[in-house]
Amino acid sequence: MGKLNHSITLYGFGYHYMRGEYSLEDVLKKTKALGADGFEIVAPQMVDGHPNPSESWMESFKELYQKYELTPVCYSIYIDSGKHKGRFLNEAERLAGTINEMEYAKKMGFSVVRSQDALLPKTMEKLLPYAEELDLHLAIELHGPYSPSTPVFQEYAELFEKKNSPYLGVVMDYSAFSSGPPATVLDQFPDDVCHKELLHKIRKLFTTTEIPVEDLTKMILDEGGDEVDVLIAEKKIYTGLMNEKMGTIYYRTHPDYEGFRRLLKWSKYMHGKFWHVDDDLNCDEIDYPGFVKIMKEEDYQGFIASEYEGSNFSKKYNDEDQLALHIKMLDQLWNR
């Protein structure tokens, strides 16, 4: 089996980029240094003049990524449903906007254009001839709180089966397959505010077992915790339990492995979302060993992008260190 194809989404550097601490060249240089083969750009975030960048900017951008010998893989776009006050975009607007983005993505050398579910399956189907003409893979992002069983993604799966085209597919984001909160979810609390060791035990049990929340709460109090610990558990650990049929933030022990496997054949690119990898190359919140095993069994040959969003929970960790650990973890699992 060949090596795993690594990408990094430049979005992972967004916190520093938006603060002016990193330039576009900085993040491309860092992407290469971290060992990625390719990269993804979120167009509204880093494409100057978006949605209509100038020819001169595109040429300078191409020179930059060629300088660092990087492959432009994924051009990420959005359906700006709230663009007009009082109404959503109509289909003609969704079509026109997406075609415009696809044409610029092609000019810049990308092979995948990632949109979002607001595009709608019937509109995506109408875009197939444009994707074929441009030789682009148009993909919809499956992102938490949605899962493969969410009705709109069942519609997308039916479309992929019907068309059986290499030009339509899905970008699966691992947020849709998380089992629980990351280890860093308690970092924001001072040590003297709560019983952290006990709460980490509860977090681990929430993520890996079927023990009811009520019993976990009783365990907190029985083992020396107090009402503050219970409140923190309710607000930071027991989240994502409502509306489970539509998908949740955390799936406990029920991430959809078979849904992942079913959609994998329509995937040329995926988001390896994560919030924390420890020094032993463990990612508590997502069963990466289980999902990488499926990727190997299905002979996945696309890219996986390391996408770090841990700063949402904790500022203690350096984004580049975390990205390097994530890539190392993936390689270790792939080469088992």
Dihedral sign of CA atoms 309, 314, 317, 318 in order: positive
Same domain, residue pair 55 and 86 = yes
Same domain, residue pair 207 and 67 = no
Same domain, residue pair 295 and 310 = yes
Could you tell me if 72 and 228 are in contact, meaning their C-beta atoms sit under 8 angstroms apart? no
Same domain, residue pair 78 and 140 = yes
Same domain, residue pair 273 and 174 = yes
Residue that terminates a domain, selected from 215, 237, 259: 237
Look up the CATH number of the domain holding residue 53.
Answer: 3.20.20.150
Same domain, residue pair 32 and 102 = yes
Angle, helices 288-297/319-334, rounded to nearest 10 degrees: 50
Q: Which domain holds residue 28?
A: 5-180+246-334
Same domain, residue pair 116 and 196 = no
Distance between CA atoms of 287 and 284, rounded to whole angstroms? 7
Same domain, residue pair 321 and 262 = yes
Same domain, residue pair 139 and 215 = no
Q: What is the pLDDT of residues 162-197, one digit of tens each?
A: 999 999 999 999 999 998 888 899 999 998 999 999
Number of structural domains in the chain? 2
Same domain, residue pair 74 and 207 = no
Same domain, residue pair 213 and 176 = no
Which residues does residue 168 pair with via DSSP β-bridges, in sequence order? 138
pLDDT tens string for the chain (336 positions)? 688 999 999 998 888 898 999 999 999 999 999 999 999 999 999 999 999 999 999 999 999 999 999 999 999 999 988 888 899 899 999 999 999 999 999 999 999 999 999 999 999 999 999 999 999 999 999 998 889 999 999 999 999 999 999 999 999 999 999 988 888 999 999 989 999 999 999 999 999 999 999 999 999 999 999 999 999 999 889 875 444 433 345 677 788 999 999 999 999 999 999 999 999 999 999 999 999 999 999 999 999 999 999 888 888 998 899 999 999 999 999 999
pTM, rounded to two decimals? 0.91
